[in-house]
Amino acid sequence: MSLLQIEELDVRYGALIAVRSVSLAIDEGTTVALVGANGAGKTTLLRAIAGAHRPSSGTVRFDGADVTNVAAHRRVQLGIALVPEGRHLFPGLTVEENLRAAAGKGRAGSWNLDTVMDAFPILRPIARRRASALSGGEQQATAIGRALMSNPRLLLLDEVSLGLAPQAVDAVYQSLTALMASGAATVVLVEQDLRRAMSASSRVICMLEGKLILDGPSTGLSRDDITDAYFGLRRQASAVS
Between the two ends of the chain, the Cα-to-Cα distance in Å is 20
Is 205 in a helix, a strand, or coil?
A: strand
Q: What is the DSSP letter of 104?
A: T
What topology is assigned to 4-230 in CATH? Rossmann fold (3.40.50)
pLDDT at 49: 98
pLDDT at 241: 35
DSSP H stretches of helix in 103-186:
113-119, 136-148, 166-182
Q: Which amino acid is at 183?
A: G
> Per-10-residue mean pLDDT for the chain, 241 residues long?
94 94 96 95 97 97 97 97 92 97 90 94 96 95 95 95 88 86 88 90 96 95 91 58 35
Burial group, residue 181, by CB count within 10 angstroms (0-12, 13-18, 19+): exposed
Planar angle of CA 184, 61, 214, nearest 5 degrees: 80
Cβ contact 141:172 at 8 Å: yes
| Alpha carbons 99 and 112: distance in angstroms, whole number | 9
